[in-house]
Amino acid sequence: MKLIASLALVALTAAVAAPAAAQSFQKPEDAIKYRQGALRVLGAHFGALGAMANGRAPYDATAAARHADVIQLVSTLPWTGFTPGTDKGETRAKPEIWAEQAKFKEHQDRMISEVGKIAAAAKTGSVDNLKAAWGPNSGGCKACHDNFRKD
């Protein structure tokens, strides 16, 4: 049931993503909620794959492929929500995001690339491939959090 709800949220997020990328959000709070929602969905599915890769959850090839589809799509979504004015309000985003935009973009690109490698491995149906991809590619989220997210 949680997977169905998450996939529904991803579909909704994807439907919103195209207009969000093409136009600005009505209010800064809308952009903050959008990016936080996308990152929450990404974290849930990334965590489920990590649990399988690290042996904390039984490996399920079908579920791994579904999680892979979700993380691959959702990893591209939150970035449109980091618009000017969204550094205030209920956010854990550090000011460095706006002060060091090139560095922040590098972290985005790295994370999207690493998520793509994990997703590709997860879709092979082999837990060994997932484990092999997980180790060298699972640090993109943490690296960005360390530099750009308040504790």
Report the CATH number at residue 34: 1.20.120.10
Q: Name the band, by pLDDT with cuts 50, 70 and 90, for residue 151.
A: confident
Interval 109-121 mean pLDDT: 95
- 0.75 exceeded by pTM: yes
Domain holding 89, by residue range, is: 2-148
Convert the pLDDT of each residue in 43-87 to its tens digit.
999 999 999 999 999 999 999 999 999 999 999 999 999 998 999
Number of domains the chain contains = 1
| 86 CB-near residues (< 8 Å, 6+ apart) | 28, 31, 32, 35, 93
